[in-house]
Amino acid sequence: MATPPLYAATFGAAYLYVISPGPAFLAMFTLTASRGRGAGARFVGGHLAGDTLWGALAVAAIVGASRLGSTLFDLLGLFCGAYLMLLGWRALRTRGEAKPAPVGAARPLATGLLFGLTNPKAYPVALAMFSAIVAPYARDLSLADAPKLFVAAFSGFLAADATLVFMAGLAPVRRFFLARGLAITRVVGLVFIAFGARSALDGGLGLWRGGARA
């Protein structure tokens, strides 16, 4: 049976999972620096859908629900990798004479949604993070505990999103990103390409290994 300390630990794991730097983290800060907290809030609002999906799958797996097959995540890895590499290539092509537009500036909500839902690597990361905390209690958990654990995790997601939007909107942070906008945009582009290539490579290798075992 789940206990209050476990709920608190689940909240903390979800908070750290969201606030850890990555492609979406960089995209959100760059977007907020250029377009303000409103755009950043819409981006993380869209990304919350992905956090909710992968977090729910991780919680379900931990408490004993059926795991999804690896083929699905390998295919998503290929799609996600291609998507991130495309965004990264566009960022690298930003010209110095024009004010660089952050990735997803035109549609921050839709971009955040795509970032969140097309990142299959979020599942193993979430599973590992939550497992490290929940593992000592795993034998005492049942499917009946899953909804309460999910609520604790979702609360952690919301708290982390609020923290990111607040931090990204601070004047010194915005000035830093705006003053170095072109360089930051290109760095973000390189990060996207690197993450995308790794995701696509892992997805392709997973499919190849799966085919070899068949």
The pLDDT, as a whole number, for residue 159 is: 94
- Whole-model pTM above 0.85? no
Instruction: Assess whether pLDDT exceeds 80 at residue 72.
Output: no
pLDDT in tens, 177-208: 777 767 776 777 787 788 778 777 877 887 78
Range of the domain at 92: 4-213
**Cβ contact 69:159 at 8 Å:** no
pLDDT in tens, 12-59: 878 877 886 666 777 788 888 878 888 888 888 888 888 888 887 777
Average pLDDT, the chain: 74
Three-class HEC string of 148-209: HHHHHHHHHHHHHHHHHHHHHCCHHHHHHHHHCHHHHHHHHHHHHHHHHHHHHHHHHHHHHH
Percent of the chain predicted with pLDDT > 90: 4
Distance CA 180, CA 65 (A): 47
In the structure, what pLDDT confidence band is assigned to residue 101 with cuts at 50, 70 and 90?
A: very low
Name the packing angle between helices 146-168 and 23-35 (round to 10°): 40
Q: Which residue has the tokens 């890895």?
A: 77
Distance CA 179, CA 40 (A): 18
pLDDT in tens, 102-142: 555 567 787 788 777 776 556 666 666 666 666 556 556 66
Number of domains in the chain: 1
φ, ψ (nearest 5 deg) of residue 85: -65, -35
The pLDDT, as a whole number, for residue 76 is: 59
The pLDDT, as a whole number, for residue 67 is: 41
Tell me the helices (H) and strands (E) count for the chain, helix number first: 9, 0
The pLDDT, as a whole number, for residue 162 is: 92
